[in-house]
Chain A
């Protein structure tokens, strides 16, 4: 049973809550396979996506999930909103709430913004990525994708490769897999691994071959080129040589290994096209599963909250 008004991070979720979301998503995915991809569940509910950072897949995934459940959606592009006139973030949200928004989906480059908004509005808030903090729905769709392929969530070995330092996706995934009872190993150049990461109950290695040995899942992170102005590694070519996941490396991995990537990919940098388009890659399915998981969340957060119980 879901009791939370908001979803700010995986850190605050219990194992049971993660499992409930995955279980609900399994049934939501059936709707995506139908010719009529629409159910009336959230008719009359209004959802607002408020993105202060660019995004294609997360925002459209949320909007489609809402539409498939018959909710109304509005999408605020901050570049053309009153934010440009100097309106504060909280005033923007309060104004929209006064128009009847039931749920905000917020992305912001500063960590903690969704949590701050959630404390100040009655409507629900979902964190769609905040700074270097968390990206909970990405981790949930990753968990769901692994569940679909492996049929279980515990006892797995998950190798997360790349720019751990800047990655909110990595952080949310670490929380999720730890809670579910799987083992996490992180790997990347020393400059892109945050100090004290071991305190999150993960193993660290700087050797890619060691990381992917025995791994059930190889989770490749996007090299966030827009955040690499400080010269944290010498060249893209060298990065690919040392940390790029290519077919040569995959040959040394388990036969039934899954390769995942949250997208968008830098082909030829963190992952080769050969691997990205291969049969062990579930990258495209992750995108489909993103819609199913977000439908599950919207249903759990907005379906069934009233003042009295009538059957």
Chain B
């Protein structure tokens, strides 16, 4: 199997602009960021949350707490999978009690990851609100979940794959669309 790229849909600048817009929307919707905390869903949600934190600091002068959430143990498809996801680290060293939590992820697809993340969050504490920020919404929801902040809506077919690549993990900032093909 190999990944055949069809098009680049976002470059470094586009990602930067999208995150900046999302940051402004977070400030506007929450009337400031005094009660906001950011939690990135591992793996690529985490660097995105860290970038949002930086932008929010530039805009408002306040550093909001950032945590990372690993949802492996909350997945509802574990017994359907042949491969076994490695359990990662959840690192939230602040209270989320009564906070406005902004969950951050790279791609919103079926909604199952977000559902798992919601379950995981509720086991850690009881936030006042939970909002969802994603860089890409590619549609095909299987659960009644929608994002509050979207970097870019990308209509896709189920066969297609969206790959978000970030400098912190992949060494490059870009979003590409493509398909997995047989060798």
Contact = CB atoms under 8 A, between A and B. Distances in A.
A299 B79 contact: no
A27 B78 contact: no
A24 B82 contact: no
B77 A310 contact: yes
Interface of A: 1-2, 20, 23-24, 26-28, 30-31, 34, 36, 38-41, 44-45, 69, 296, 299-300, 303-311
B73 A39 contact: yes
A147 to B, nearest CB: 15
B81 A310 contact: yes
Contacts of B120: 39
Interface size class of B (residues with CB under 8 A): 20 to 34
Interface string B65-82: 000001011111111111
B88 interface: yes
Name the 8 nearest CB pairs between A and B, nearest first. A304-B84, A39-B73, A41-B73, A304-B81, A306-B80, A27-B87, A36-B123, A309-B82
Interface majority SS (helix, strand, loop, mixed), chain A: loop
Most buried by B among A38, A39, A300: A39
Nearest to A37: B123
Contact of A39 (B74, B82, B84, B86): B74
Contacts of B73: 31, 39-41, 69, 299
A305 to B, nearest CB: 7
Contacts of B123: 34, 36, 38-39
Contacts of A27: 70, 87-90
A304 B86 CA distance: 11
A310 B112 CA distance: 12
B78 A30 contact: no
23 contacts: A20-B86, A27-B70, A27-B89, A28-B87, A34-B123, A34-B124, A38-B123, A39-B120, A40-B119, A41-B72, A41-B73, A296-B87, A299-B73, A303-B84, A304-B82, A305-B82, A306-B79, A306-B80, A307-B82, A309-B80, A309-B81, A310-B81, A311-B81
Nearest to B113: A311
A31 B87 CA distance: 12
A310 B80 contact: yes
A299 to B, nearest CB: 7
Given A36-B123, A39-B73, A1 B89 contact: no
Contacts of B82: 304-309
A3 to B, nearest CB: 9
B84 A2 contact: yes
Contacts of B85: 304
B83 interface: yes
B87 A299 contact: yes
A311 B76 CA distance: 10
B78 A41 contact: yes
B167 to A, nearest CB: 25
A307 B83 CA distance: 10
Contacts of A36: 123-124
Contacts of A299: 73, 87
B106 to A, nearest CB: 14
